[in-house]
Chain A
């Protein structure tokens, strides 16, 4: 299976900060990389698919980049509703795998 490693595991930030989360795959996954946001007690929500495409309805402050093995999720200006846990997920080959998550907390 392809292993996905996110960093950092958690971070503290303030409203208005630029936040960057990285995800590394154990082998090349081309652009088959998705990003999800999950709030406590809720189902995950798709933010970015195929590395850089913004899911419909997701604010434009979210962006994704990368290909091959290294990927980045950027929140350009953190908003109060963005405090959550973020997961990357590869869909290059079955079985699909997730990163361990990055918790974005209020500083």
Chain B
């Protein structure tokens, strides 16, 4: 069964950095385009970043552009999100998700990032 597991969330001070990871099992990540989607407490879903299977195409939402960096290591079957210059507005559950054929089909369970002093 395909499974995505996020890790790396936690409490960080404003202005700080955090690196999230997404490990895949039951599927070979290099066959999938990958995304990060976040959800602030009691709020809706926000897509924030995409990376193609080869890693050659990358996109970001304006809200994180210049602060967040998506990357992948297909040899390790893993996806990453480096988050810098964090603010309270970045507090959210962060999900990784595969995207094939224009849809987000497999999702991880999410990891909580809290930005607070």
Contact = CB atoms under 8 A, between A and B. Distances in A.
Interface of A: 1, 32, 34, 36, 38, 42-46, 49-50, 55, 87, 89, 91, 94-101
A100 B43 CA distance: 8
B45 A89 contact: yes
B contacts with A: majority SS: strand
B95 A43 contact: yes
A89 B47 CA distance: 9
B9 to A, nearest CB: 14
Nearest to B49: A95
A46 to B, nearest CB: 5
B109 to A, nearest CB: 6
Given A1-B62, A95-B61, A46 B47 contact: no
A55 B108 CA distance: 17
